[in-house]
Structure 1
Amino acid sequence: MKNLVILAGNVGADPEVRTTQSGAKITTISLATSRPKRDSDGKILKDRDGRRIDDTEWHRVTLFNGLGKAVAEYGFKGQKLLVEGRIHYSRYTDSDNVERYATEIIAEKVDFLSYKPRDNAADDVEDDDIPY
Structure 2
Amino acid sequence: MNTLKNSVRLVGNLGMDPEVKSFDNNRKLARLSIATNESYKNDKGEKITETQWHHLVLWGAQAKLAEDYLKKGDEVAIEGKLANRNYTDKDGVKRYVTEIVVNEFLKMR
TM-score calculated relative to the size of structure 2: 0.87
Conserved? CA contact 1:82–1:113, under 8 Å: yes
Larger Cα Rg: Structure 1 or Structure 2? 1
Number of residues of Structure 1 aligned to a counterpart in Structure 2: 106
| Residue 22 of structure 2 corresponds to residue 27 of structure 1 | no
Give distance in 2, aligned partners of 1:14 and 1:45: 36
Q: CA deviation at 1:20?
A: 3.6
Q: What secondary structure is seen at the aligned counterpart in 2 of 1:53? A: strand
- Aligned equivalent of 1:123: none
> Identity, % of aligned pairs?
34
Provide the aligned C-alpha RMSD in A.
1.9
- Aligned equivalent of 2:84: 89
For CA contacts below 8 A with separation 6 or more, give which structure has more relative contact order: 2
- Aligned equivalent of 1:101: 96
Structure 1: segments with no counterpart, 5+ residues: 47-51, 115-132
- Aligned equivalent of 2:20: 17
Q: What secondary structure is seen at the aligned counterpart in 1 of 2:92? A: coil
Which runs of 4 or more aligned residues in structure 1 lie more than 6 Å from their structure 2 counterparts after TM superposition? none
Structure 2: segments with no counterpart, 5+ residues: none
What is the CA deviation profile of residues 84-131 of structure 1, one whole-angstrom value per residue up to 9, with x for unaligned ones? Answer: 0000000111111111100110000101111xxxxxxxxxxxxxxxxx
- Aligned equivalent of 2:52: 57
Larger strand fraction of residues = 2
Q: What secondary structure is seen at the aligned counterpart in 1 of 2:87? A: strand
Q: What secondary structure is seen at the aligned counterpart in 1 of 2:17? A: coil
Identify if the C-alpha distance between structure 1 residues 99 and 53 changes in structure 2 by more than 3 Å, giving closer, same or farther: same
TM-score calculated relative to the size of structure 1: 0.73
Identify if the C-alpha distance between structure 1 residues 23 and 66 changes in structure 2 by more than 3 Å, giving closer, same or farther: closer
Conserved? CA contact 1:36–1:45, under 8 Å: no
